[in-house]
C-alpha cells in the first residue's frame, strides 16, 4: 500500500492528537459541564445545570479578586527582582564563568529542587526555635522579625521565590551575554569605550529581547504560583497569601464547591490566555 504524504502526516500526528483528546479534550468538556452546574463531592455524578450562577458567585466573591490581585503583585514583583538580580549576576560573573564553567552548576541548584521542597525547607529555616535565620537575627541584633506573620509573610515568600528563580533569569542572560559576538566588544574597546558605557550602549541593547522573554516567563510562573507558598504557609494567616492557584484549590478541595472552582478555573484560563497572547505579541514586536 502506498500512502500519500497527507495520510502519513495524519498517522504521525495521531499519537499526539489521541493523547490530547483524551487527556485534555475530555477535561475541557467536563470543565464546561461543571462550570455551568451545581455539584459537590456527594453529587459528583449528577450535576445540576444552573447557567451562569457559578460565574456570578465567583465574580462576586471578594477573595477571588484578592487572589487575582495577590497573584498579579506577586508575579510582577518577583519577575522584576529576578530579572535585575539575574542580569547583574550574569554580566558581572560572566568573565569568571568563562574560565570556570562549574560555577553555573552551583548557581542553578535552586531550580533543580522542587519548589514544594523549598517551601518546606523555609519552614525549617525560619522556624523560631530550630531555624538558623531567627537564631542569627537574635545573635546579631538581639531581635528577630516574625517572618510568617501577616505583616511580613508577603515579603518572605517574595524573597523565597526570588532566590529560587533568579538562577533561571541568570541562565537566560548568561546565554544571551555569551552570544554577543566578541568582536563587537573588541571593536568598541579599541574605540576607547569604558566598561560601564560598554554595558549600557552595546551589551544591554543586545540583551533586551532576552530581558522581555525572561521577565515574561517569570511573571507567568509567579502569577500561577502554588507549591512553595502552599507548603510554606498554606493560604497564609487570614488567607493573606491566597494566590489564584491556591484559591481554586481551596474552593475545590477544601470547600468542595466544584462548580465554583471550575468557573474560577475557566475565568483564569481566559485571563491567562489573554495575557499570553498579549505578551507574545509584545515580544514579537520587540524582536
Partner 1 sequence: MKLHQILRWIVFVIAALVMNFPVLATFITALKSPAEISRNPSLAIQSPTLENFMTVLTVSDRLNVYHYLWNSLSAALIGSILPIIVAFPIAWAMARRGYGRNILFPLIVNLRALPLVIFAVPLYLMFSVVNLLDTQIGLGLVLAIVNLPLALMLLVNAVSEIPIELEEAARMDGARLPRLIGRIVLPLCRPAFITTFVFGFITAWNEFLFGLILTTQNAVPMTVGASFFFATSGGGVQWGVAAAVMIVAALPPLLLGLIMYRKITGSMVSGAVKG
Of 212-241, which residues contact partner 1 (CB under 8 A)? 213-214, 217, 220, 223-224, 226-227, 230-231
Rg over CA atoms, the chain: 24
The interface with partner 1 within residues 236-275 (CB under 8 A) comprises: 244-245, 248-249, 252-253, 258, 261-262, 265-266, 268-269, 272-273
Buried b (16+ CB within 10 A) or exposed e, 192-217: eeeeeebbeebbeeebeebbbbbbbb
- Considering only 58, 67, 81, 89, the residue that binds partner 1 (CB under 8 A) is 89
Between the CA atoms of 11, 12, 15 and 16, what dihedral angle is there, to the nearest 10 degrees?
A: -130
> Quick check: 34 binds partner 1 (CB under 8 A)?
yes
Closest CA to 188 of 179, 180, 198, 178: 198
The interface with partner 1 within residues 51-80 (CB under 8 A) comprises: none
User: Shortest distance, CB of residue 259 to partner 1, whole angstroms?
Assistant: 10
Report the C-alpha gap between 280 and 241 in whole angstroms: 28
Of the candidate spans 26-34, 53-61, 186-194, 196-204, the one that interacts with partner 1 by CB under 8 A turns out to be 26-34
Smaller CB separation from partner 1, 135 or 199: 135
Per the CB < 8 A criterion, the answer to whether 231 and 116 are in contact is yes
Smaller CB separation from partner 1, 24 or 208: 24
- Considering only 72, 77, 80, 121, the residue that binds partner 1 (CB under 8 A) is 121
- Considering only 51, 95, 181, 238, the residue that binds partner 1 (CB under 8 A) is 95
> Quick check: 115 binds partner 1 (CB under 8 A)?
yes
> Quick check: 136 binds partner 1 (CB under 8 A)?
yes
The interface with partner 1 within residues 140-179 (CB under 8 A) comprises: 160, 163-164, 166-168, 171-172, 175
Of the candidate spans 13-21, 52-60, 145-153, 185-193, the one that interacts with partner 1 by CB under 8 A turns out to be 13-21
> Quick check: 4 binds partner 1 (CB under 8 A)?
no
Per the CB < 8 A criterion, the answer to whether 85 and 218 are in contact is no
> Quick check: 19 binds partner 1 (CB under 8 A)?
yes
User: Shortest distance, CB of residue 189 to partner 1, whole angstroms?
Assistant: 14
Q: From the centroid of its chain, how far is CA 223? A: 5
C-alpha cell at 142: 538581639
User: DSSP secondary-structure letter at 38?
Assistant: E
Per the CB < 8 A criterion, the answer to whether 241 and 157 are in contact is yes
Smaller CB separation from partner 1, 59 or 253: 253
CB burial class (10 A; 0-12, 13-18, 19+) of residue 38? middle
Per the CB < 8 A criterion, the answer to whether 161 and 85 are in contact is no
C-alpha cell at 270: 481566559
> Quick check: 124 binds partner 1 (CB under 8 A)?
yes
Amino acid at each position: 500500500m502506498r500512502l500519500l504524504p497527507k495520510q502519513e502526516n495524519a498517522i504521525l500526528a495521531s499519537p499526539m492528537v489521541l493523547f490530547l483528546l483524551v487527556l485534555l479534550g475530555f477535561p475541557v468538556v467536563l470543565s464546561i459541564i461543571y462550570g455551568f452546574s451545581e455539584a459537590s463531592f456527594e453529587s459528583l455524578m449528577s450535576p445540576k445545570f444552573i447557567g451562569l450562577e457559578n460565574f456570578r458567585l465567583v465574580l462576586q466573591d471578594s477573595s477571588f479578586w484578592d487572589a487575582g490581585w495577590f497573584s498579579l503583585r506577586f508575579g510582577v514583583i518577583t519577575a522584576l527582582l529576578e530579572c535585575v538580580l539575574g542580569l547583574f549576576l550574569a554580566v558581572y560573573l560572566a568573565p569568571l564563568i568563562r574560565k570556570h564553567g562549574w560555577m553555573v552548576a552551583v548557581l542553578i541548584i535552586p531550580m533543580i529542587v522542587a519548589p514544594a521542597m523549598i517551601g518546606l525547607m523555609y519552614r525549617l529555616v525560619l522556624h523560631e526555635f530550630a531555624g538558623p535565620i531567627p537564631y542569627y537575627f537574635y545573635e546579631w541584633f538581639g531581635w528577630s522579625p516574625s517572618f510568617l506573620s501577616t505583616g511580613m509573610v508577603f515579603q518572605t515568600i517574595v524573597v523565597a521565590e526570588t532566590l529560587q528563580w533568579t538562577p533561571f533569569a541568570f541562565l537566560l542572560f548568561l546565554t544571551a551575554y555569551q552570544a554577543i559576538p566578541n568582536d563587537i566588544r573588541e571593536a568598541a574597546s579599541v574605540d576607547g569605550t569604558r566598561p560601564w558605557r560598554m554595558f549600557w550602549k552595546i551589551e544591554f541593547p543586545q540583551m533586551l529581547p532576552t530581558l522581555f522573554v525572561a521577565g515574561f516567563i517569570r511573571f507567568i510562573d509567579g502569577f500561577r504560583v502554588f507549591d512553595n507558598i502552599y507548603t510554606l504557609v498554606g493560604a497564609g494567616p487570614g488567607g493573606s497569601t491566597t494566590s489564584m492557584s491556591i484559591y481554586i484549590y481551596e474552593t475545590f478541595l477544601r470547600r468542595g464547591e466544584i462548580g465554583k472552582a471550575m468557573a474560577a478555573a475557566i475565568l483564569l484560563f481566559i485571563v491567562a490566555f489573554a495575557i499570553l497572547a498579549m505578551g507574545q505579541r509584545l515580544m514579537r514586536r520587540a524582536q
